[in-house]
Chain A
Amino acid sequence: MPAAAERLAVTGELGRACRPRSEQALIRGAMAGSEADLEALFRRFWPRAYRAAFLIVHDHAAAEDIAQEAFLAAIRRLDRFDRRRRFGPWLGAIVANRAIDWARARAARRETLDEGADPASPPEVPAGRYSQEVLTALASLSPEHRAVIVMRYLLEYSPSEIARALEARLKEVER
C-alpha cells in the first residue's frame, strides 16, 4: 500500500500506534471528509475487488471498469452506508453482480453479432502474475458459478454471505 495515506493508516498521525486502523475507523473518517482514510480504504480493498472481477469476466479492461464502478457506487452511497456492516462483503457483492451482468451481456453479444463484425479483440494483455490453470478451470463454469468460487476462496465470504449476495441469481441458474 503506497503513499501517505497508508503511512497514516498504519502509524497514525503522531506515529504512536503501529497497527492498521480498523475498517470502521476508515469508513468513519471517509464519511467525515478524510481523503487519507478514503485512500487507505480504497488501497485495502481494491486488489481483491479487481481480481474478483477479472476472475469472473476474464477481461482485464472490463474488470478494471467493473471494480471502478463498484467503488464509485460505494463512494456515492457512503453517506447511507450502515457502519455495522462490513465494507468488504458489501463491495464484493456489488463487484460480483456487476461482473456477472457483464459476462452475460458479452455472451449475448457473441450470439447476436456475426463473426466478421465482432470487434472483441482486446489489445494485448498487460503482463501479470496469474495462473492460466486457474483461468482455464474457471472458464468452464457459468459466470454465476465462477462468482461463487471467487467469493468463497478469494474474497473469503461465508456460505451464508454468498447466498445473500447471489441468492436471486443462483435460483435463476437452477431453473
Chain B
Amino acid sequence: MSAATRRRLREFRAPDEVGAENRTWRVIRSAYLDRRTAPVRRPRWRLAVAPVLAVLVAALVLSPAGASVRRLITQALGEKHAAPALFSLPSPGRILVAGPGGTWTAAADGSTRRLGPWPQASWSPHGRFVAVASPDQLAAVDPHGTIRWELARPGVSDPRWYLPSGYRVAYLSAGTLRVVAGDGTGDRLLATGVARVAPAWRPGQPDGPYQLAYVTAGGRVVVRDAGGGRIVWSASPGMRPQELMWSADGRRLLVLSARQARIYSANGARVSTLALPRGDTATDAALSPDGRKLALVLGGREVAVAGARAPAPTIRQVLAGPGVRAVSWSPDGRWLLVSWPAANQWVFVRVAGVPRVAAVSRIAQQFSSGGGRGFPQIEGWCCTARGQAG
C-alpha cells in the first residue's frame, strides 16, 4: 500500500461523524446509567404486591422437580386476589382477543362474543369490522361474526387495517407482503422476502398516501408506498426487528428489537434509541395512543413504561411477575392490559393518576370453545390496534 493511500486512510472521515457520535453517546450514557443504577422507581401499590411475589419466588425456588409453575403462581398470587371472571373493563372500549379458542371480543360491560375459529385478528380503525386470519384464509367479519369477504391464500398471518379509513388491509402470506382493498378487492403482491413481523401502516389521510412499514427477511426495515410500490426509505436497525409501531400522528416509527427500541422520523432519520438494561430483552411492546409512552414486557418477567420521545428515556417498572407475555394500552391511554398466561390472568394496571391494579383470572376458560382452549393473544383494545397507536 502506497504512503499516499495510507495517509488518506489515516485522514479518512466517515459521513456524519459528529451526529453519529452524539446519537450514540446518548445511548451509551443511558445504558451506563441503567448499569450503574438499575430502575428503582416503583409505584406504591407495588409494595402490596411485593410480599406476594416474594412468596411466589420462594415457592418457585423450593418447588420439587416437575411441579406445576402455574399452580404455584396461582396459589401465590392468583384466584383469591383476582376476579373470577371478566365483569367489566376498567376503561371504555372493546378488547379483541384471538388464539386457540378462536377470535372473541370483550365489551366494556364484560360480555364476550365469539366471532369465529380464527387464530389471528385485527380491528378496523373504528371497530366496525375485524380482519381475521387462519393459515389458509384471510377474511373480514362484522362484530357479530358475519363474514363480509374472504380470500384463500397460503400461510396468511398478521392482517393490519390502514388508519384512519380502513380502505386497505395489509397481510403476510408465505414470506410475501400483500395488500387488499378494505372491501376485499384488488388483492396484490407488494413485496417478497418479508420477515414474519406484522406490517404497520403509517397513519395518514383517509385516501392515502398508503405507506407501509415492514421488515425484510434480512432484518431491514422498509417503508414502501403501497400505491406505486416505491420504497420511501429503508434502514438497518442493527438488531433483528420484532415489532413495528407508528405513532398516531404518523411522525414516528418505533422499531422494537430484543435489546433496544429505536425511533425513526417519517423520512427515515433516527430520532432516538432506548437501550434496555443489561441482560434484559423485550418480548413485547406497545406505544400509548398519544405516542408519548412505550410499554415494554422485559424478559417475560416484568412490565415497564418509558418515555417514547426523550432522547435517553428512563424505564419505570410497573408490574413484575414471571411469565407475563404481552401488553396493550386502553384507548384513553390510562390503563395497561397485561396478559399473564403463566397465571391464567389478565392484569389491568392504571398508569395515569393514582396507581391501581385489577386482575381477572380464568382467562383461558373464558375464551375457549369446544374445539380449542388456550390462553389467547390480545389483538387490540378498540380502538387502539396492535401495530399502531391509535
* A60→B20 contact, CB < 8 A: yes
Residues in B1-52 with C-beta less than 8 Å from chain A: 1, 5-6, 8-17, 19-21, 23-25, 27-29, 31-33, 35-36
* A43→B21 contact, CB < 8 A: yes
Q: Chain A residues with Cβ under 8 A from B90's Cβ? A: none
* A134→B9 contact, CB < 8 A: yes
* A38→B14 contact, CB < 8 A: no
B268 CB contact (under 8 Å) in A33, A123, A128: A123
Chain B, residues 154-167, CB within 8 Å of chain A (1/0): the string is: 00000000000000
Name the residue among A30, A39, A120 with the largest chain B CB count within 10 angstroms: A120
* A60→B16 contact, CB < 8 A: yes
Q: Does B218 contact A (CB under 8 A)?
A: yes
* A71→B192 contact, CB < 8 A: no
Instruction: Determine the main DSSP class of A at the interface with B.
Output: helix
Number of B residues contacting the other chain (C-beta, 8 Å)?
50
| B266 → chain A closest CB, angstroms | 12
* A60→B191 contact, CB < 8 A: no
| B34 → chain A closest CB, angstroms | 9
Residues in A1-56 with C-beta less than 8 Å from chain B: 30, 33, 35, 38-39, 42-43, 46-47, 50-51, 54-55
A153 CB contact (under 8 Å) in B1, B13, B238: B1
In angstroms, Cα B24 to Cα A75, docked, is 13
Q: Does B309 contact A (CB under 8 A)?
A: no
Besides the known contacts A38-B29, A121-B231, A122-B235, 6 further A-B residue pairs in the complex with CB atoms under 8 A apart: A66-B238, A68-B28, A72-B27, A114-B192, A119-B216, A134-B12
Q: Please give the residue numbers on chain B whose beta carbons come within 8 Å of chain A beta carbons, in ascending order.
A: 1, 5-6, 8-17, 19-21, 23-25, 27-29, 31-33, 35-36, 191-193, 216-218, 220, 222, 224, 231, 233-239, 267-268, 270, 273, 275, 278
Can you offer 10 A-B residue contacts whose CB atoms are under 8 A? A50-B14, A50-B17, A55-B9, A55-B12, A60-B16, A75-B32, A113-B216, A126-B15, A134-B8, A149-B1
Q: Please give the residue numbers on chain A whose beta carbons come within 8 Å of chain B beta carbons, in ascending order.
A: 30, 33, 35, 38-39, 42-43, 46-47, 50-51, 54-55, 59-69, 71-72, 75-76, 78, 105-106, 109, 112-114, 116-123, 125-131, 133-134, 137, 149-150, 153-154
